[in-house]
Amino acid sequence: MIGLRSPLISLGRTSISALEELGRMGIFFTVAVRQVFARPWELGLILQQLRFVGARSVIVIAVAGAFVGMVVALQFYDVLVRFGSVSLLGSAVGWSLVRELGPVITALIVIGRAGSATCAEIGIMRTDNQIDALECMAIDPYRYLIFPRFVAFLIAVPLLTAVFNVVGIFGGWFVSVAVFKVSQGAYFQSMADTVLLNDLAMGVSKSLVFSVLIVWICTGKGFLMNLNKGMVFGAEGVSRATTDAVVAASISVLFADYIVSALML
């Protein structure tokens, strides 16, 4: 009997703990967002986070954008040249960057570069009891640790996406115009013709949604690290929380990408 029941028991335990985790993250999100009303905002902390998430990511985002733009142009050139429609190269590059690749790849890079670091940082604060210390001093950790990061990600990710797109468009320009001798006018004109304000709005709303998901999951997993399933603390707990955060954030970004695309098409 026991042998028959144990898979059911473990299934139940897993679902209950997943449900608990989701609930904790939901409560965490509401409490964090409620800090909008806690005046004054910690502008200094927001600036520091903006430098970390935004300013220091510009170079890596720009390099990634350049190569993605170039490879998209290269691949589409290979297809379009068979139909003799190389003049559509600009619209292919612009469309795929603005609507899809720009927001998604930027989000994935931000998860890897800033999200993982944020999660580890907050996780270590939790294991070192620094967060409890803040509470002892009547300093709201949500206000001092979490909310500035929410604001910073929310501002930085859409701007980084825009940088990625622009650099990608010029990377594509380099391959199309300088390497394959597509006419420059055709490249930019076809891009301007196909990529409309709607597409731009789709890209921006995607990056806003992604930024919320990233900062929510990465700060939440670190902040609630002490409540994790195996009750693992210390270095192993931090590494586990960070891995979880990166995986969960990446998956939810890709999932949200489909949802937003389906809603806005």
Partner 1 sequence: MTEKSSLEISVGLFMVIGLLSLTYLAVKLGDIGVFADDTYSLNARFVSSSGLTEGAFVEVGGVRVGTVQDIKVDYESYESIVEMSLDPNIKLQDDAIASIRTSGIIGDKFVKIAPGGSELYLEAGDEILETESSISIEELISKYIFESGDTD
- Is residue 47 a contact residue for partner 1 (CB under 8 A)? yes
Tokens of 75: 């691949």
> What's the closest the beta carbon of residue 55 comes to partner 1, in angstroms?
4
At residue 39, φ and ψ (nearest 5 deg) are -90, 155
Q: What is residue 222's three-state secondary structure?
A: helix
Nearer to partner 1, 58 or 74 (CB): 58
Query: Of the candidates 32, 92, 163, 246, which one interacts with partner 1 according to CB under 8 A?
Result: 163
Query: Of the candidates 25, 74, 154, 166, which one interacts with partner 1 according to CB under 8 A?
Result: 166
Helix residue ranges, H only, the chain:
2-34, 43-53, 58-83, 89-95, 102-110, 116-127, 130-136, 141, 147-173, 184-194, 197-223, 234-264
Give the span between the Cα atoms of 253 and 217, in whole angstroms. Answer: 11
Nearer to partner 1, 16 or 43 (CB): 43
What residues numbered 180-199 form the site for partner 1, per CB under 8 A?
Answer: 188, 191-193, 195-197, 199
Tokens of 99: 């609507």
Query: Of the candidates 162, 177, 182, 245, which one interacts with partner 1 according to CB under 8 A?
Result: 162
> What's the closest the beta carbon of residue 152 comes to partner 1, in angstroms?
9
Contact at 8 Å (CB) between 258 and 181? no
At residue 170, φ and ψ (nearest 5 deg) are -75, -30
Nearer to partner 1, 20 or 193 (CB): 193
Nearer to partner 1, 101 or 241 (CB): 101
- Is residue 63 a contact residue for partner 1 (CB under 8 A)? no
- Is residue 58 a contact residue for partner 1 (CB under 8 A)? yes
Nearer to partner 1, 28 or 210 (CB): 210
Tokens of 194: 């196909």
Nearer to partner 1, 146 or 191 (CB): 191
- Is residue 156 a contact residue for partner 1 (CB under 8 A)? yes
Q: Which stretch binds partner 1 (CB under 8 A): 46-54, 125-133, 141-149, 239-247?
A: 46-54
Tokens of 158: 């859409």
> What's the closest the beta carbon of residue 126 comes to partner 1, in angstroms?
26
Dihedral of the CA atoms 190, 196, 200, 205 (nearest 10)?
-140
| CB neighbourhood size of 6 (10 A) | 10
Binding-residue pattern over the window 205 to 244 for partner 1, x denoting contact by CB under 8 A: ----------------------------------------
Give the span between the Cα atoms of 153 and 28, in whole angstroms. Answer: 17
Q: How far is CA 68 from CA 41, 78, 104, 170, 180, in A?
A: 37, 16, 12, 11, 17
Q: Which stretch binds partner 1 (CB under 8 A): 113-121, 125-133, 162-170, 244-252?
A: 162-170
Positions touching partner 1 (CB under 8 A) are 47-48, 50-51, 54-56, 58, 94, 98, 155-156, 158-160, 162-163, 165-166, 188, 191-193, 195-197, 199-200, 204
